[in-house]
Structure 1
Amino acid sequence: MWQKWGTVNEGLTMLKTIMIGRYLSIQGQFVRTTPSGLVVVKVGNKTFMGRPVQKRHAA
């Protein structure tokens, strides 16, 4: 399964995770970043806009 995923996309798809509200996160194909800093992702035929999830380093 993982090999098929990598073969189909060949590194052309970047996934991003965004937060919508306080508790809902969505992961999808990166579309663009708005001038206000929000990120737009596409899941299927729907697009969502939200705050990007920041990477955290282990303590």
Structure 2
Amino acid sequence: MKNDLPERRQEAGLSQSDLADAVGVTRQTINAIERDRYDPSLELAFALADHFDCRIEDVFAPDAD
């Protein structure tokens, strides 16, 4: 699943640790999502979208494969 999490996080002036703390996960989880190595649970995807005050579809998009 593609995402624009790194761009949103950087625009908000947040480190991976800051974002992880805000949504209740580890920095490693945020890193894995940003590197497309891990697809978040639906609950985490909602938490991330809520944190950035947008829809899940604004942050995440299915791979075109």
TM more than 0.5 = no
Bigger fraction of residues in strand: 1
Looking at CA atoms only, which structure, 1 or 2, has the larger radius of gyration? 1
What's the TM-score once normalised by structure 2's chain length? 0.21
What's the TM-score once normalised by structure 1's chain length? 0.22
